[in-house]
Structure 1
Amino acid sequence: MKFGVFVPQGWRMDLVELDDPVEQWEAMTAVARAADAGPWDSVWLFDHFHTVPEPVRETVFEAWTATAALARDTRRVNIGQMVGCNGYRNPALYAKIASTVDVASRGRLYAGIGAGWYEHEWKAFGYPWTGLKDRMGSFAESVELIHRLWTEDDVVFKGTYHSVDKPIIEPRRKPKLWIGGGGERVTLRLVARYGDACNVGTGRVDVIQRKLAILRRHCDEVGRDYDEIVKSTSINVFPVEAGADPGVATAKARGRYSLDEFAEIGAGGTPGALAEVVTTKQLTEHVEQLAEAGIEYVLAYIPGVAYDHEPMQRFAEDVVPAFS
Structure 2
Amino acid sequence: MPVEFGVFVPQGWRMDLVEIEDPVEQYEAMTSVARAAEESGAFDSIWLYDHFHTVPEPTKNAVFECWMSTAGLARDTRRVKIGQMVTCNGYRNPALLAKMASTADVMSGGRLLFGLGAGWYEHEWRAYGYGFPEVPERMRAFREACEIIHRLWTEDDVVFDGEFYQLDKPINEPKSAQRPHPPFWIGGGGERVTLRLVARWGDACNVGGGDPEAIRHKLDVLRGHCEREGRDFGEITRSTSVNVHLLEEGEDPERATGKARMGRSYEEYTKEFVVGTPDEVASRLERCVEAGADYIIVYLPRLAYDHSMLHRFAEEVVPRLR
**Kept after mapping to 1: 8 A contact 2:85/2:187:** yes
Residue in structure 1 matching 2:293, options 273, 292, 295: 295
User: For residue 18 of structure 1, what is the aligned residue in structure 2?
Assistant: 20
Q: 1:263 to 1:44 in 2, by over 3 A?
A: farther
Match of 2:64 among 61, 72, 81: 61
Residue of structure 2 equivalent to 1:133: 136
Greater displacement, 44-53 / 299-308: 299-308
Is contact 1:247-1:259 (8 Å) kept?
no
* Structure 1 unmatched runs, 5+: 265-271
Partner of 1:7: 9
Letter in 1 for 2:218: K
Amino acid at match of 1:43: I
**CA RMSD of superposed structures (Å):** 1.5
Q: Secondary structure at the match of 2:191?
A: coil
Residue number among 278, 285, 292 corresponding to 1:280 in the alignment = 278
Report the alpha carbon displacement of residue 248 of structure 1 after superposing the two structures with TM.
Answer: 4.7
Q: How many residues matched?
A: 315
- CA gap of 1:139–1:99, structure 2 versus 1, over 3 A, is same
1:308 aligns with 2:310: no
Candidates 220, 229, 240, aligned match of 2:227: 220
Partner of 1:267: none
Distance in 2 (CA, whole Å) between partners of 1:47 and 1:175 is 18
Aligned partner of 2:250 in structure 1 is: 243
Q: Closer, same or farther in 2 for the Cα pair 1:311/1:50, shift >3 Å?
A: same
**Residue 262 of structure 2, aligned match among 252, 257, 260:** 257
Question: Per-residue deviation at 1:245?
Answer: 1.9
**Residue matched to 2:116:** 113
CA contact (8 A) 1:238 1:303 kept: yes
Distance across 1 between alignment mates of 2:233 and 2:293:
13
Q: Secondary structure at the match of 1:55?
A: coil
Residues of 1 paired with 2:268 and 2:303: CA distance? 13
- CA drift at 1:304: 1.1
Change (3 A) 1:206 1:50: same
In 1, are the aligned partners of 2:98 and 2:153 still within 8 Å (CA)?
Answer: yes
Query: Residues 275 and 303 of structure 1 are in contact (CA less than 8 Å); yes or no, is this contact kept in structure 2?
Result: no
CA contact (8 A) 2:254 2:266 kept: no
CA shift for structure 1 position 308 = 1.4
Q: Is the 8 A contact 2:184 2:204 kept in 1?
A: yes
> In the alignment, what sits opposite 1:191?
198
Tell me how far 1:260 sits from its aligned partner.
2.7
Percent of paired sites with the same residue? 59
Match of 1:49 among 52, 72, 77: 52
Give the equivalent residue in structure 1 for 2:207: 200
> Quick one: which of 72, 75, 86 aligns to 2:75?
72
* Matched letter for residue 3 of structure 1: F
TM-score (norm 1): 0.94
Deviation of the 1:243 alpha carbon: 1.2
- d(CA) in 1 for partners of 2:252, 2:73: 34
Shift of 1:242: 2.1
| Counterpart AA for 2:31 | T
Instruction: Read off the aligned partner of 2:252 and give its amino acid letter.
Output: D
State whether residues 263 and 276 of structure 1, in contact with CA within 8 Å, keep that contact through their aligned partners in structure 2. no
User: Are the counterparts in 2 of residues 236 and 273 from structure 1 also a CA contact under 8 Å?
Assistant: no
Equivalent of 2:145 in 142, 146, 150: 142
Say whether 1:176 aligns with 2:183: yes
Q: Is the aligned partner of 1:102 residue 2:100? A: no
**Contact 1:45–1:63 under 8 Å retained in 2:** yes
Return the offset for 1:321.
1.1
User: By how many angstroms is 1:274 displaced?
Assistant: 1.3
Deviation digits for residues 68-89 of structure 1, max 9, x if unmatched?
Answer: 0001111111000000000001
Structure 2: give runs of 5+ residues left out of the alignment. none
1:233 matched residue in structure 2: 240
2:72 match: secondary structure: helix
Is residue 116–residue 186 contact of structure 2 (8 Å, CA) maintained in 1? yes
TM-score (norm 2): 0.95
Q: How far 1:276 sits from its partner (Å)?
A: 3.2
